[in-house]
Every structure is written in C-alpha cells, then in structure tokens.
Amino acid sequence: MLRDDGRRVLVPAGWDAAAATAFAAALGLARVGEEVERRQDVGTLDPELLRVLRAEAEHHASAYRLVRLPTWTPDSRLAELAALTSVINDAPTDDLDVEDEVFPPERIRTFEAAQLAHGRRTYRLAAVTRDGGALVGQTMVAVDSERPGHGRQYDTSVCREHRGHRLGLLLKLEMLRWLAESEPQLRVLDTWNAASNQAMIVVNEALGYRVMGRAVLWQRSLDVGGARSQPGSSSDRAG
C-alpha cells in the first residue's frame, strides 16, 4: 500500500526494548536515530536556581525582549510566525532520510484550530529584537483541559543568526513564570529531544528535566520514487 501511494521510505518508531529491536531486525529496518523523553517536575524546582539561571541568560540576551503571543496568531504576524516555525528544521535528524518540513501560514492556522478543538490551552512565547521587533525565537507549551496537571512542551527554536545568547534558556524560564501565573495546578512538563541534540539537552538538564524513556527510529527504503517522508514528532528540537 505504501509503494502504491508513491512512498519510498518507511520510518517507524518504538521504545528502546529488546522486543522492538528484534521486530525491526526481522523487517530489515535500520536503526537511524534515537529520541529521549524527559520530564520536568515543576513543583520541585529551586526558585534560587531559576533566579541565577535567569540573571545569567538575561545578561547574554540584553539585545532581545520576550513577548507573549496570543493563542490565535493575528493575521499580521502569521507569515512571520510561519517562517520562525520552520527554524525547527535545523534540529538534528541523524541518519533519517527526510526532507525539511514546510510551514505555510495556513498550516499554522490549522494547527491552532486543532489545539482549540482538542481542548488544549496553548502558550507561545517569542523572543524579539529590541531594535526592530522581529521574531527570532519561540517556545510553546500545551496544557490539556482534561489533564490540567500535565503539560507538553512543543517546539523551542532560535534563528541561527541569533543563537549563542541563551535565548532558548531564557524562553523556557519565562515560560515557567507564565505557566505559574496561568496554570498553578500544573505539576509536570514532558518533552522529547533527539539524543544528539546536545544544545537543547543542556538547557533541559539545567532546568531539572530527567529521562523517562528512549525511543528508537527505524528506517527502510521501499525502493520506489515519490514523495519523501516527513518527521513525525514535535518537541524541543533546536536551541
């Protein structure tokens, strides 16, 4: 069926376990990447540590300010936000045979509509330049209305030319402050990273995230021409 649809690469994923590895080997799948799930216990964070981290990050990011974006992006900023979202393509993909994801404005709008339809409260925080207000970084978290104690970290990314100023860390610190104001019942935040994404892993571990599990990405060529596969997950991927 996949060949009939013109697909040329199969990319399944499974927990890093003996049974999954044996199953993948039986199907002739090659191990091409690893992703790690981490969890932050919001209630156990050390306020003094957060204060020190924030002071350090603000020192390095003095040319930027942070803004809270509405759940429904204004039409006037939709194209700019779509361009910023595409920065996630800089994240490591290891040996996966994948194309960059494409983020036209209509995809951003559809994503926002889907979050609302599923009862998820979303929080998007952006870094902007002080001299012109251009969007150069973002982080986003969703809280499910049916599980209000549990949040999920979506993308965190910073434009390449604006990296090295600890914006990823500053964005996540300010997100914690926003969530404390708006979601005081929140207890945990979950995120996924490629195991090779050291830049974001350093940020997450500084914020007390701990490993919960590992998933392996497998790949097999279907030996046909056609559309290339796309990455299937969304999380902290480019810092």
pLDDT digit string, tens, across residues 121-158? 999 999 999 999 999 999 999 999 999 999 999 999 99
Report the first-to-last Cα separation within the chain, whole angstroms: 38
Hey, which residues does 15 pair with through a beta bridge?
A: 215
- For residues 144 and 120, is the Cβ–Cβ distance under 8 A? yes
Q: What is the pTM of this model?
A: 0.89
Per DSSP, the three-state class of 72 is: coil
Which residue type sits at 130? R
> What is the torsion angle, in degrees rounded to the nearest 10, for the CA atoms of residue 114, residue 215, residue 87 and residue 222?
-90
Give the confidence band of 98 by pLDDT, cuts at 50, 70, 90: confident
Specify the pLDDT at position 8.
84
Give residue 224's pLDDT: 47
Convert the pLDDT of each residue in 26-73 to its tens digit.
Answer: 999 999 999 999 999 999 999 999 999 999 999 999 999 999 999 999
Average pLDDT over residues 4-16: 86
Q: Check residue 237 and give its pLDDT.
A: 53
Judged against a pLDDT cut of 60, whether residue 230 lies above it is answered with no
What is the average pLDDT score of the chain?
Answer: 92
Average pLDDT over residues 224-231: 39
- Mean pLDDT on 157-176: 97
**What does the block give as tokens for 180?**
């404390």
Give the C-alpha separation, 21 to 95, whole Å.
17
pLDDT value, residue 93: 92
> pLDDT value at position 222?
87
**Structural domains of the chain sorted by starting position, each given as residue range(s) with its CATH number in brackets:** 9-221 (3.40.630.30)
Region 11-17: mean pLDDT is 92
Q: What's the CA gap between 125 and 109, in Å, rounded?
A: 17
